[in-house]
Amino acid sequence: MSKHLFIIRHAKSDWSFEVSDVDRPLNARGFDNAPEMAQRLIQHGEPPQLLVSSPAKRALTTAQIFAERLHTAVRDIRIDPRVYEALPGTLLDIINEVDNRYDRVALFGHNPGVTLLANVLSDENIANIPTCGIAHIVFEDIQDWAFVSGGLGRLAWFNSPKG
């Protein structure tokens, strides 16, 4: 048995008007990219069973669009305030706390944290997870999220709206 982590950066946000960072919404491109990327995730098979999101509007909206495509109840998205502006150590704490009944988890967050996390967990060198990009990290032979740590994952695939 293995654990699968889908690290997803929020879709493109709208900077056309003044709003607090946490309240920044998606722009039109973000609303186009999120369902497309959710569909790509589905096409890879074995979609996430649990969605964990930053409370920031752009991340939570992205997670909600994915939930709808994945036929997951939006109310079941786990909102964790620690994801907002988190660096890899905090994100890893969140991952280590996931209930082991879930083998496939999607984490919706922000840069630079999500890119750094993908690199730390998989020993890869992804320069940047772009908006709505997905890094699928597999932890072979790990059955307990508490044991997930740096270098133990393998990048199974990486995809973004531009490729």
CATH value at residue 108: 3.40.50.1240
pLDDT given at position 128: 97
Residue 142 and residue 163: Cα distance in Å, rounded? Answer: 30
Residue 32 · residue 160 · CB < 8 Å: no
Q: Which residues of the chain are modeled with pLDDT < 50?
A: none
Task: State the pLDDT at residue 46.
Answer: 87
Predicted pLDDT of residue 96: 98
Q: How many domains does the chain have?
A: 1
pLDDT tens-digit readout, 134-154: 999 999 999 999 999 999 999
Contacts of 7 (CB under 8 A, 6+ apart): 107, 109, 114, 117, 118, 129, 134, 135, 136, 137
Domain holding 154, by residue range, is 3-159
* The predicted structure's pLDDT at residue 1: 82
Separation of alpha carbons 86 and 113, rounded Å:
6
pLDDT at 153: 98
Q: 0.85 cut: is pTM over it?
A: yes
pLDDT of residue 41: 97
Tens of pLDDT, residue by residue over 43-55, are 999 899 999 999 9
- 52-66 pLDDT, tens digit per residue, is 999 999 999 999 999
